[in-house]
Every structure is written in C-alpha cells, then in structure tokens.
Chain A
Amino acid sequence: GAGVSQSPRYKVAKRGQDVALRCDPISGHVSLFWYQQALGQGPEFLTYFQNEAQLDKSGLPSDRFFAERPEGSVSTLKIQRTQQEDSAVYLCASRKTQGEQFFGPGTRLTVL
C-alpha cells in the first residue's frame, strides 16, 4: 500500500502481559517515529529512527518500552509487563528526511 500501516488495529492485554506493535512505513522513508496518544490528548513523542539507528528514545516512559527497526524498514514497539496506564493509541509515522510526517492509523491498546 501507499501509506503507513500498523497492526494490530486493536489489542487487549491483561496487566503484566507483553505486547508487540508493528509499523510498516512508506517504502523509502528514512525516518520513523512512534507516538503515544492518550484519550483526549495530542500525540506524544516516544522514539525516532533514522534507517535502523534509534537516534532518540527520550520519550519512552519506562524501560518496559522497547523499539527496534533492525533492517531500516518495519519497526516494532514492544511493551513488557503492561500496566493500565499504558492504555493508549500508539501511532507510527514516517517521512523521507525532512518536513511532513505521514501517520498510520494507530493501534489502540487496552490493558485490563
């Protein structure tokens, strides 16, 4: 497809479970971003990749959050031992090098 895709669209996890969220960026886009969007709020930055290098992870809220992009294309955001406060929509975005970011549809994570 032409846009950014994310899977799954919805994920329900029991507290303490590990989850993995996938992002397929637009082909050829060098930069990839993960955001967390709490209900009724704007997206908040989590981490940034340039190709396979994670250049900024300052927004990750705890060491339970881990992201990777091993081949500079698909990225996975992993959350270990999920907590209720992790419930949010997780957005992925990509861009060529500068300027506009193109967003995926997001994954809504609900932790029970």
Chain B
Amino acid sequence: AQTVTQSQPEMSVQEAETVTLSCTYDTSESNYYLFWYKQPPSRQMILVIRQEAYKQQNATENRFSVNFQKAAKSFSLKISDSQLGDTAMYFCAFMKLRAHNDMRFGAGTRLTVKP
C-alpha cells in the first residue's frame, strides 16, 4: 500500500519570502505521479503542480517548484515570492501510473502567509 506523509501540520511565511513544504511517500512502484494540491478555505482543491516519477527534471510552475528525490522518496514543494493568496491547506498526493483509480493524499500542511 502507498502512504504519503506530510510532517509539517502548520507553517507560516512572510509575504514575498520563500517557503518549502515537505512530503515523503512509500511505494514499491517504479512509475507513478506525484501532485501538490492547494485547498483554500472555500474547499475547492486546485492542482498546483505535478511530477511524473520517470522524469528526472523537477517540475516548475511559475512561483512553484518541486524538489523530487526519487531514491529518498521525497517530494517537497517550494513557493517563491509568497503571496497572501497562497494561504491554504496544501496536500501532497501519490498516484500509480498504471492505476485508474485512487489518489493517496497526505494529511496536509496549513500554510499561512503573513503580511
């Protein structure tokens, strides 16, 4: 079974600063997807960034980038130039490449961006 661990229940960062959210996972699969989702208070889960495990290059999306360490089974999210609108719960998620079904989520990290 796959497990996803987010060891930081809460984090805070000053506006315009950089913050890194941690995620580790456990799997015996060699090919899979990893995701970071953002869930603001409105509850709508929004995809922030995704990474295919077979790609060595770390994914980036504007101010968001990941540090994917496959051997260490680590998938951290870096948010640069933090904005007040980044305040939300952030969930790391794992999905098998060949599976059609479920996505496994971590427990989440509550990020607060302070003005």
Contact = CB atoms under 8 A, between A and B. Distances in A.
Interface stretch (A18-26, A66-74, A76-84, A101-109): A101-109
B89 to A, nearest CB: 9
Contacts of B44: 103-106
Contacts, number: 56
A55 interface: yes
Interface residues of A, number: 25
A1 interface: no
Interface in B20-35: 33, 35
A31 interface: yes
Nearest to B92: A42
Interface in A10-63: 31, 33, 40-45, 48, 50, 55-56, 59
Contacts of A42: 4, 91, 93, 105-108
**Interface band, chain B:** 20 to 34
Interface stretch (B11-19, B62-70, B80-88, B96-104): B96-104
Nearest to A46: B102
Helix, strand, loop or mixed for chain A's interface? Answer: strand
B45 A103 contact: yes
Given A41-B108, A42-B108, A100-B50, A89 B43 contact: yes
Given A42-B93, A99-B33, 12 more contacts: A31-B100, A33-B102, A41-B107, A42-B107, A42-B108, A50-B100, A91-B43, A91-B45, A102-B47, A103-B37, A103-B46, A105-B43
11 contacts: A41-B107, A42-B4, A42-B106, A43-B91, A44-B105, A45-B101, A56-B102, A99-B33, A99-B50, A104-B44, A108-B43
